Structure 1
């Protein structure tokens, strides 16, 4: 080894405590366990002291967590708009919000009859909310009245105090919890949704819902009421035919199958004595002007 290398090695051993200066220029070897106690011991004690200080500081800071969670800043900390791309995420958020709601839930579900799986999931969740004293209003389209599964769900929740009404035309899918949080459908993704917590936007959504609610009719399953609603559905089809919508578009707007829609259109044409859709549209337009 060169003198430079020897000098560097000696300095390193001195730093590690394995060499100790003696009288004069003498260097004495130190047992490794003694070197550890001398060099590493203070480091260990410093680390333990810093860890203890860190833990004390953490506890002192976290003691303010309850105050923070009840503050306005904490509520504003949540994202005011949250996009959920997957159905599982939407269902989880709805379940959580329903469980935490203490005042009222507003629901608008377009599309006619609701799926069996959806109703099976919603029934126990909604019953639990109603049992807690939560008010609930549900808005469907008229065609939902002709679904046995939907009727059974309505019977159950109505017995617990829920109010259900229906409209003829299509509206946006939405839910509002305690007038604080809304969930609206995500355009272009029928499985997704947007969670809205911005107060002004939620207030606008609630106002929109109230307007729909006032225009809707109380849900009823009596024969006379069903016949009256069937008449309303046909009137809606007439209106949309005059506007020039296709069978598929009308069916989507009114929450029914294309086959059912075409059966209604055939009945309307027979009533008018029309031989074609074009003639039916003309006759309906003339009748509308006369009315």
Structure 2
């Protein structure tokens, strides 16, 4: 049975007086209460109904037609016991439901963790798995592919695989853009590769410095190296594993970084006769890094060249500045305001 507040009768003054009189008599007698309390029969009938509902009047055992008063605590226990039982049952039901549902909390958060990991990024430490994923995405790329490749000359086997992949994607009319470092221009194999892929429609540019290896597929999936840019190997490749990013906001950010690098890079035209201007860019970059106090090894890594080549450039710069030391070279650079003459990004060497 369901109880509500309206189902419990209100104890009014007349009913209370009638109850007191019944306690004195030991029973509830209508005529006597009418006379003693000067009440109307209707009022007494109402009082009897209220007291019965409140369990203050109960049938006498063996004589159900006789109503006798009972103590308030007995009446209370009799009146609310069913309601209390129902309340306890509901409380237990609520506790059981809460317990069963809350037991799913670890399942929910584990599922969220796995979903977020799938949607945001994966960390792949096995190079074979990374290459397999790259091959798969290269085959299923639909619209656009972009890449940033730090370092200088590309290994021969890497160039062969990249050539096959690029030509295959161009056959499917995939837009392709690559940013190398300026030092890649001096390598004959890299120049031959760039000549082949640009003839097929791939756009290639170079910059003095780039941040790290980046691969972008359809502006939906990004591959980044697991190592930081200042790791000891400094290769900027994915041989140590990759972070695969899919979360749209993170992907959009990486795409913006690529566009910034692309806008500041110089078109790579393998047969151009104006390569000395790139050498000037490299010298400017070397001067800027030297001015920051970087050692030869760090300058070489940042510019994607060997330490030996870097030192040769430094030697040439020092000679051009008629300096006998790094300090004097820096002083002469400051006097000549050479670092204020940085070329603009829009120069076309083609």
How does the TM-score come out when normalised to structure 1? 0.70
Q: Distance in 1 between matches of 2:169 and 2:293?
A: 43
Q: How does 1:133-172 map to 2 (within 5 A)?
A: 133-172=173-212
Partner of 1:224: helix, strand, or coil? Answer: coil
The corresponding residue for 1:175 is 215
Q: Which of 290, 293, 305 lines up with 1:241 in the alignment? A: 290
Cα deviation for residue 187 of structure 1 reads: 1.8
TM-aligned CA distance change 1:77 to 1:245, over 3 Å: closer
Root mean square deviation of aligned Cα: 2.0
Larger radius of gyration: 2
The corresponding residue for 1:128 is 168
Q: Which of 121, 126, 129 lines up with 1:81 in the alignment? A: 121
TM-aligned CA distance change 1:289 to 1:133, over 3 Å: closer
Alignment pair present for 1:279 and 2:328: yes
How does the TM-score come out when normalised to structure 2? 0.59
Q: Distance in 2 between matches of 1:78 and 1:272?
A: 55
TM-aligned CA distance change 1:76 to 1:103, over 3 Å: farther
Spell out, residue by residue over 1:93-113, the C-alpha distance to the aligned partner (whole angstroms, 9 max, x if none): 111111000100001001111
Q: Distance in 1 between matches of 2:150 and 2:332?
A: 30
Alignment pair present for 1:116 and 2:164: no
Higher relative contact order (CA 8 A, sep 6+): 1
TM-aligned CA distance change 1:122 to 1:250, over 3 Å: same
Q: Distance in 1 between matches of 2:159 and 2:338?
A: 43
Q: Distance in 2 between matches of 1:77 and 1:265?
A: 46
Unaligned runs of 5+ in 1: 1-74
The corresponding residue for 1:96 is 136
Given that 2:195 and 2:270 are in contact with CA atoms closer than 8 Å, whether structure 1 keeps it comes out as no
Q: How does 1:45-60 map to 2 (within 5 A)?
A: none
Partner of 2:275: helix, strand, or coil? Answer: helix
Q: Distance in 2 between matches of 1:230 and 1:224?
A: 12
